[in-house]
Amino acid sequence: MTQKLRSILIINREPDLAALYAEMLSMSGEKYMLNMAYTAKDCLLFLKKHLPNLILLDIELDDMNGWELIEKIKLIGPDIPLIVITARPPGIEDFTRLTMVCDYIARPVTLDCLHMAVKDAMEVPVILNKCIEKVRNSPAKDKLIFGVEENIRLMKQSIIDRKIFILMRQIYPDNRDPNAKVLLDNLKEKINRAQNELETFKTRECLLSNIIL
């Protein structure tokens, strides 16, 4: 049976850039079904007919603010992973919105960076969902499932938080902006707290590894 190709929707107001990202994705060694939209309107029309496995979008669009479009996309397909590619660095007000996306890539985009972001966005949720399914089918599921699902949710959020933290450190390396420093400190504390909770869970539920492997 032929495996269905995973689909990626590329949204960019510049057709040449959209075509470039499509070409870069074709060089990853993976085969994708690639579609392109050049406006928010075209994107929303496409989503009424097809829900892609991943969306790559530039938040600098001509007919709608990119973050507004992301909110509309989440209403149509809340589980569709989104990767932002843009030349505009995020402002302080944008960092609270970054939890809506899997990654935020600043141009110029490198092959390695794009391929890694796409791989993480498409594969990590699948792996985690398979783990949940294995636990659901385990004889010990009543004891383990709640803790496992909660910690997988925590792991997903921790991945997002770490990427935001790295991005913020790149943009604000000297900590001169007091608002940025507060956000960085809060994120670091949140990441450490999540890591401690995950370590506690792994220690307490040593049986989990036998179920997942």
pTM of the model: 0.67
- Of 6-20, 92-106, 136-150, 177-191, which one has max mean pLDDT? 6-20
CA atoms within 13 A on the CB side of 127: 9
Domain ranges (residues) in the chain: 6-212
Is 150 or 60 the better-scoring residue by pLDDT? 60
**pLDDT at 210 > cutoff 60:** no
pLDDT of residue 121: 84
pLDDT tens digits for range 68-124: 999 999 999 998 999 998 887 777 777 778 778 888 888 888 887 888 888 888 877
Nearest-angstrom CA–CA distance, 77 and 80: 6
Burial (0-12, 13-18, 19+ Cβ within 10 Å), 166: exposed
Spell out the CATH class of 6-212.
alpha beta
**Beta bridge partner(s), residue 84:** 57, 104
Nearest-angstrom CA–CA distance, 69 and 55: 12
pLDDT of residue 113: 80
State the pLDDT confidence band at 212, using cuts at 50, 70 and 90.
very low
pLDDT of residue 37: 97
**Beta bridge partner(s), residue 58:** none
pLDDT tens digits for range 152-209: 677 777 777 777 776 777 677 666 778 878 888 888 888 788 777 766 665 555 444 4
